[in-house]
Amino acid sequence: MKKALAFLSLLVIFAALLLATHPDYGIKFGLSGKDWLKYRYTDQYYIEHGIEEVGGTNIVTDIVFDYRGYDTLGEATVLFTAIAGAIALLRPWRRDENE
């Protein structure tokens, strides 16, 4: 019963996502021309001004380390946390004090 319900709600979510990514109702794919400027104006800005504002010729690194450098700092922290968590959980068990 629970499983059937879970499966059913997965189907509903899947249908909703299909609707949201259908070009007639939701997100369009393969944008070009006017649509590009309408939906990807931020990307256009990075492409146009990236070199002069940041100085790197690689736009992805320009964005990841300059425009959105704080997110990269966050990602580094995620990695650090994951490592700290993994070694914290894989440490040897504490022994009983009277041992």
Q: How far is the CB of 7 from other proteins (least distance, A)?
A: 15
Residue choice 45, 47, 51, 61 for contact with other proteins (CB under 8 A): 45
| CA 56 – CA 92 distance, rounded (Å) | 46
Tokens of 89: 């959980």
By CB under 8 A, how many residues form the interface with other proteins?
A: 44
Q: How far is the CB of 57 from other proteins (least distance, A)?
A: 18
Q: How far is the CB of 89 from other proteins (least distance, A)?
A: 5
**87 lies in the binding site for other proteins (CB under 8 A):** yes
Tokens of 12: 């509903």
**7 lies in the binding site for other proteins (CB under 8 A):** no
Binding mask 62-81 for other proteins (x = CB under 8 A): ----xxxxxx-xxx-xx-xx
| CA 5 – CA 49 distance, rounded (Å) | 51
**47 lies in the binding site for other proteins (CB under 8 A):** no
Residue 67 near residue 54, CB atoms below 8 Å: yes
The CA angle 83-88-92, to the nearest 5 degrees, is: 130
